[in-house]
């Protein structure tokens, strides 16, 4: 079974600075997908970024980028130029890459606070 | 606007009572999911449905039931057999069953009276 570990329950960062959230996962699969979701106080889960394991290039979405280290099974999220609106819970998620599968496994989350 | 609508936002259950949480999507997505979120934990999968009239148990299905009679709707019933139902419940959908990212509703918070 796949497990996803987020070792930082809480983090804080000053507005306009950069912060990195950690995520590691355990799998024997070679083909899979990784995701970061954001859950602001409104509680809606929002997809931030997605990475396909077969792609060596790290995914980027505006101020959000990932550092995907397949051999180390690490998938960290970097938020640049942090904004107050980035304050939220961030969840890392794993999906096995096979036909007929959308089953996602989530980490416990990291609560990020952006301070003015 | 396309999206996923969960209702109600807050729900209270009495002892021995069944309650049903609504989830409707107008995204024309094939797959739908129910998750439970407890404090300090990630999301845990209760049930999922990849196509109309078909659904599968997730990791924590005991005490819950679902139906998928229409593509747009995937209601979750929390039965009296679920002894610890207090949690935040999230519904999600995905375009199809093949490695598509899931999109979430705003959630329903269920509490025991």
pLDDT in tens, chain B (113 residues): 669 999 999 999 888 899 999 999 999 999 999 999 998 778 999 999 999 999 999 999 999 999 999 999 999 999 988 889 999 999 999 988 777 888 999 999 999 88
Average pLDDT over residues A37-64: 92
Task: Give chain B positions within 8 Å (CB) of A47.
Answer: 101-103
Cα angle vertex A76, ends A73, A77, to 5°?
A: 150
Q: Do A98 and B101 touch (CB under 8 A)?
A: no
Q: Do A103 and B45 touch (CB under 8 A)?
A: yes
Question: What does the alpha-carbon distance between residue A73 and residue A30 come to, in Å, rounded to a whole number?
Answer: 11
As beta bridge partners, residue A105 has: A94
Query: Other CB atoms closer than 10 Å to residue B31's CB: what's the count?
Result: 20
Q: What is the DSSP letter of A48?
A: E
Nearest to A94 by CA among A84, A105, A109: A105
Q: What is the DSSP letter of B101?
A: P
Number of residues that make up chain B = 113
Nearest to A4 by CA among A90, A88, A79, A83: A90
Nearest to B28 by CA among B52, B8, B12, B9: B52
Question: What does the alpha-carbon distance between residue A108 and residue B39 come to, in Å, rounded to a whole number?
Answer: 9
């Amino acid at each position: 079974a796949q497990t996803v570990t987020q070792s930082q329950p809480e983090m804080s960062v000053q507005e306009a600075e950069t912060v990195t959230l950690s995520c590691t996962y355990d799998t024997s699969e070679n083909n899979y997908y990784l995701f970061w979701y954001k859950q602001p106080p409104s509680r809606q889960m929002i997809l931030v970024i997605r990475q396909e394991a077969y792609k060596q290039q790290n995914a980027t979405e505006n101020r959000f980028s990932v550092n995907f280290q397949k051999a180390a099974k690490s998938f960290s999220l970097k938020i640049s130029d942090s904004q107050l609106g980035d304050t939220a819970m961030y969840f890392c998620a794993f999906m096995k890459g096979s036909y007929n599968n959308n089953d996602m496994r989530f980490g416990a989350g990291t609560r990020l606070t952006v301070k003015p | 606007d396309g999206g996923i609508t969960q209702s109600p936002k807050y729900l209270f259950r009495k002892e021995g009572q069944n309650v049903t949480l609504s989830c409707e999507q107008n995204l024309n997505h094939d797959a739908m999911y129910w998750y439970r979120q407890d404090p300090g934990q990630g999301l845990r999968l209760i049930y999922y449905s990849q196509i109309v009239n078909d659904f599968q148990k997730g990791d924590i299905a005991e005490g819950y039931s679902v139906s998928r009679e229409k593509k747009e709707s995937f209601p979750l019933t929390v039965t009296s057999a679920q002894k610890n139902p207090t949690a935040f419940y999230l519904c999600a959908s995905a375009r199809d069953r093949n490695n598509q990212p899931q999109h979430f509703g705003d959630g329903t918070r269920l509490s025991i009276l």
